[in-house]
């Protein structure tokens, strides 16, 4: 079991460390400005400036009103569905809607992050208890499951969109929990090494 645990520990440390480095870079070091920022449309600038979802909802409502006004004028040409993404005022509505959906997704991911990382921690604790007093392999499987869950839900965020307040909150907590996962990994290994507990298990 010691060999198996050593291999899994090294793999977990590699994953945890690289994920933590990635989160730190994206949060604090990755450049966010672009030479193309000056060419943003008014809609894109308004979306970027909006921090909270209710601000985006107000932008969406205003954009939708413009669409209703446009469609109420029979002299305006009819824009077919597949052309609306590139035609104002439909384009603004689509852009704002997409940003709202992205931010709602980030909020849901934050809830999932805490829930599943917490489940991983509970599995880890129960695994140690089971390992000590019930069955070593049953406990070992729960420990591996716990760490796997914690590592999976602190995995890097890949993005190519606006770094919104909701995205940054998700990134902050991913970084925090990634660091906690790394600390727990090190603490568990030091505990095992100090007390040589696995030497008692075959």
Residue 86 CA to residue 8 CA, distance in Å, equals: 50
What is the band of 47 on the pLDDT scale with cuts at 50, 70, 90?
confident
Mean pLDDT of the region 12-25:
90
Tokens 């990635």, residue located: 22
Q: Helix (H, G, I), strand (E, B), or coil: what is residue 44?
A: helix
Average pLDDT of the chain is 84
Domain limits at 24?
2-200
pLDDT value for 167: 85
Measured over the CA atoms of residue 32, residue 38, residue 39 and residue 45, the dihedral's sign is: positive
Q: How many domains does the chain have?
A: 1
pLDDT value for 202: 46
Mean pLDDT of the region 7-28:
88
Instruction: Give the tokens for residue 184.
Output: 């727990």
Which of 32-36, 193-197, 198-202 ranks highest by mean pLDDT?
Answer: 32-36
Asked if 117 and 177 count as a contact pair (C-beta separation under 8 A), the reply is yes
Residue 37 CA to residue 90 CA, distance in Å, equals: 22
Which of 31-35, 39-43, 178-182 ranks highest by mean pLDDT?
Answer: 178-182
The contacts of residue 59 (CB under 8 Å, 6+ apart) are 43, 46, 47, 50, 96
What is the band of 149 on the pLDDT scale with cuts at 50, 70, 90?
very high
Residue 165 CA to residue 131 CA, distance in Å, equals: 42
**pLDDT 10s digits, 96-105:** 998 899 889 9
């Amino acid at each position: 079991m010691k060999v198996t645990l050593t291999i899994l520990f090294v793999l977990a440390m590699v994953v945890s460390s690289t994920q933590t480095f990635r989160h730190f870079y994206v949060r604090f070091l990755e450049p966010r400005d672009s030479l193309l920022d000056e060419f943003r449309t008014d809609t894109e600038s308004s979306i970027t400036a909006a921090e909270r979802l209710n601000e985006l909802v107000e932008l969406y409502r205003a954009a939708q009103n413009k669409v209703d006004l446009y469609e109420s004028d029979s002299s305006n040409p009819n824009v077919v569905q597949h052309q609306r993404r590139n035609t104002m005022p439909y384009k603004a509505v689509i852009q704002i809607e997409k940003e709202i959906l992205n931010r709602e997704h980030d909020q849901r991911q934050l809830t999932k992050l805490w829930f599943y990382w917490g489940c991983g921690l509970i599995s880890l604790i129960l695994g140690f208890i089971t390992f000590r007093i019930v069955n070593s392999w049953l406990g070992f499987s729960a420990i591996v499951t716990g760490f796997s869950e914690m590592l999976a839900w602190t995995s890097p965020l890949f993005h190519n969109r606006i770094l919104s307040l909701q995205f940054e909150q998700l990134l902050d907590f991913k970084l925090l929990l990634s660091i906690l996962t790394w600390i727990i990994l090190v603490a568990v290994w030091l505990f095992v090494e100090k007390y040589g507990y696995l030497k008692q298990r075959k």
